[in-house]
Structure 1
Amino acid sequence: MKKQILALAVMSAAAVSVQAEQFWSDNSVSVLYGSDYKVDGPKFDDGNSLTTYTLEHVSGHSWGGLFYFMDRHVGDDGFTATYSEFSPKVYLTQFEGGVVKNINAAFTIESSSGGFDNYLYGVGADLAIPGMNFASATVYYAQNDDIEDDYQLTLTYGWSSGAFNIDGYIDFSTETDDSKANLHFNPQITYDLAPMLGKTFSKVKVGIEYSYWGNKYGIDGVDQNAISALLKVHL
């Protein structure tokens, strides 16, 4: 039943978007390389090297917004995996002035090549914080066919000064009988080289991504601290 409800919400958002106005969009491809990744590779609780290729889209519409991406991981000893998220949000109400810009109905489908799919739905707010390019806070109820349901708090943020940029997210998932509470802090710190390279691409970012994931995947005591080199090209 939960899959049908979420699928209906996603299809409704898609149907609305056909007739609604798109205000902006951004598409990018990126390559990430680093070590010290836990679980994702042959060394469960030790450092695995991982190269991640990512396709990403984000856009703003008169009805709300859409974010989706797909990761392809290639690691040690032939390890490969694919992971994707599809996340529409629909405005419930909007405000003029103040810290809260919008209240949204939020939906996310998380899919992995291992057959582990999460279905999240909740309520979020887009925030107007001085000095920030964007910020949001969303509370989800997360459902899965294989493990106990839980709650997730997701914070997103972005800040820039000239060509220097910091953005990312923080996910916190609550504890259940099947998994420990876990925290994933994942900022990207980049510098845009596009002004030096001409106007072939809107942005060419180089920098690092830091991934702290306490109790990764809800596994007790598996804490990831990984710093990776990043190249991200906005098309």
Structure 2
Amino acid sequence: MKPTKPLLLMATGLLSVAAQAEMTWSDYSLSLLYGRDYKVNYSLSTDDSERSVVTFEHASGHSWGDLFIFADYLDSEDGSKELYAEISPRLSLGKLSNSELAWGPVTDVLVATTVELGNMDDPDGLTATGPHFTNILTGLGFDLAVPGFSFVQVNAYRRDNDDKASNEQLTLVWAMPFTLGDASFVYDGFIDWTSASADAHPSMNFTSQLKWDVGANWGDPKALYAGIEYVHWDDKFGIRDGSFAVNSNERNVNLLVKYHF
């Protein structure tokens, strides 16, 4: 299904607001990852289980809410390539109404949106998304105060998928810093659950990173990290595991280096 014009206009308007409003904090990072157990090849003639990934991320807080952007460039050992990005502005109803929308662990309620952009090698149509796609997600988000975590977010979306049936998505995002002796670590990640649709199976992607703060050892904390990323993805891309002899249940460990600037 093509994204509707109102949703596209809404996403464009949010990005315009993001560019003009006051920024209260920001973070940029660049990551290098390497893994050997990626599932769902890009074509019938390639083995794309071994991939290198370069990831750029931006996160920022604003007078109107927050913004998260990332872009992945994936390159398989067999030469297949993919560029995937997400742009996720969220409008804080508490900030915009100048009121406190908090109860229990909830500290704010937000209008949550995401634009997914994909461009990949997919000559045989194996990914269930097609080689080029733009998906629009809209819904509600909740910021939670959880002891021991620097942030916890829950977002519930309606997905308007490009060339696919619409469905729903529930996303949990978190970050938990901790120390062991003199060493500092961060455990963060996300869980995406997407519902079934007319042409996709339910899917669950649990991706998390365990990172050691290497830079803290020479007086530059929260800058350079090293660690691992683990991906536990059931029915990747909404492809039911075993369909058409495709193994779509991914259990993938990546080596990781990440630099914040």
Give the TM-score normalised by structure 2: 0.83
Amino acid at match of 1:112: G
Instruction: Determine if contact 2:3/2:161 at 8 Å carries over to the other structure.
Output: no
Match of 1:32 in 2: 33
In the aligned structure 1, how far is the partner of 2:14 from the partner of 2:205? 28
Q: Does 1:72 align with 2:73?
A: yes
Q: Alignment RMSD, CA only?
A: 2.1
Number of equivalent positions: 234
Instruction: Determine if contact 1:42/1:76 at 8 Å carries over to the other structure.
Output: no
Match of 2:105 in 1: 99
Match of 2:132 in 1: 115
Q: Does 1:175 align with 2:196?
A: yes
Give 1:48-197 correspondences, 5 Å limit: 48-93=49-94, 94-95=100-101, 98-113=104-119, 114-162=131-179, 163-197=184-218
Instruction: Determine if contact 2:41/2:48 at 8 Å carries over to the other structure.
Output: no
Query: For residues 192 and 81 of structure 1, do their structure 2 counterparts lie closer, same or farther at Cα, with a shift above 3 Å needed?
Result: same
Give the TM-score normalised by structure 1: 0.92
Residue 44 of structure 1 deviates from its aligned partner by: 9.1
Residue 95 of structure 1 deviates from its aligned partner by: 3.1
Q: Does 1:232 align with 2:258?
A: yes
Residue 83 of structure 1 deviates from its aligned partner by: 0.3
In the aligned structure 1, how far is the partner of 2:64 from the partner of 2:212? 32
Match of 2:122 in 1: none
Query: For residues 44 and 178 of structure 1, do their structure 2 counterparts lie closer, same or farther at Cα, with a shift above 3 Å needed?
Result: farther
Query: For residues 30 and 134 of structure 1, do their structure 2 counterparts lie closer, same or farther at Cα, with a shift above 3 Å needed?
Result: same
Match of 1:212 in 2: 232
In the aligned structure 1, how far is the partner of 2:47 from the partner of 2:201? 19
Query: For residues 18 and 37 of structure 1, do their structure 2 counterparts lie closer, same or farther at Cα, with a shift above 3 Å needed?
Result: closer
Superposed CA deviations along residues 136-161 of structure 1, whole A, max 9, x for unmatched, are: 11110001231111000000011001
In structure 1, runs of 5+ residues without a counterpart are none
In structure 2, runs of 5+ residues without a counterpart are 95-99, 120-130, 242-247
Match of 2:245 in 1: none
Superposed CA deviations along residues 126-180 of structure 1, whole A, max 9, x for unmatched, are: 1111111100111100012311110000000110014211000000000112011
Residue 41 of structure 1 deviates from its aligned partner by: 4.2
Residue 40 of structure 1 deviates from its aligned partner by: 4.0
Residue 198 of structure 1 deviates from its aligned partner by: 4.3
Identity, in percent, stands at: 36
> Higher strand fraction: Structure 1 or Structure 2?
1
Amino acid at match of 1:158: A
- 1:36 aligned counterpart, secondary structure: coil
